[in-house]
């Protein structure tokens, strides 16, 4: 995958943060939809879509932290969800240099 390394790092951090959250079943369903979109963005090397998915995970984490303690039906990530996050993070965390965009060619 060839995307901006900083964007890949941000997406990886958002995924790692999300998997640590305790979410309602509805929120986990939404998080899974975002992870699917993130995976598709990676597969198509679509930086705009990757940025959108990363921001959606960040917004979800902010909403959850604002509700902390107010909703009792929260649960941790399932093993399947943790595996999905690990798979996505592994794809994002390529060896340094391999995922960097080549410098622009001089004109």
pLDDT at residue 100 greater than cutoff 80 = no
Answer whether 0.85 is exceeded by the pTM. Answer: no
Residue 44 lies in a domain: yes
Domain limits at 70? 5-92
Residue 79 lies in a domain: yes
Structural domains counted in the chain: 1
pLDDT digits (tens, 9 = 90+) for 26-67: 999 999 999 999 999 999 999 999 999 999 999 999 888 776
Q: Which residue has the tokens 């705009």?
A: 48
In angstroms, rounded to a whole number, what is the distance separating the alpha carbons of residues 97 and 64? 35
Better-predicted residue by pLDDT, 67 or 88: 88
Number of other residues whose CB lies within 10 A of the CB of residue 103: 6
Residue 102 lies in a domain: no
Neighbouring C-alpha atoms within 13 Å toward the C-beta of 58: 10
Residue 106 lies in a domain: no
In angstroms, rounded to a whole number, what is the distance separating the alpha carbons of residues 38 and 40? 5
Tokens of 19: 């998997």
């Amino acid at each position: 995958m060839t995307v901006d390394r900083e964007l890949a790092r941000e997406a990886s951090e958002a995924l790692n943060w999300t998997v640590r959250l305790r979410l309602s079943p509805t929120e986990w369903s939404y998080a899974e939809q975002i992870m699917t979109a993130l995976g598709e963005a990676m597969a198509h090397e679509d930086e705009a879509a990757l940025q959108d998915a990363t921001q959606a995970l960040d917004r979800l984490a902010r909403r959850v932290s604002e509700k902390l303690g107010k909703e009792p039906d929260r649960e941790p990530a399932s093993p399947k969800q943790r595996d999905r996050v690990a798979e996505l993070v592994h794809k994002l965390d390529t060896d340094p240099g391999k995922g960097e965009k080549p410098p622009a060619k001089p004109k």
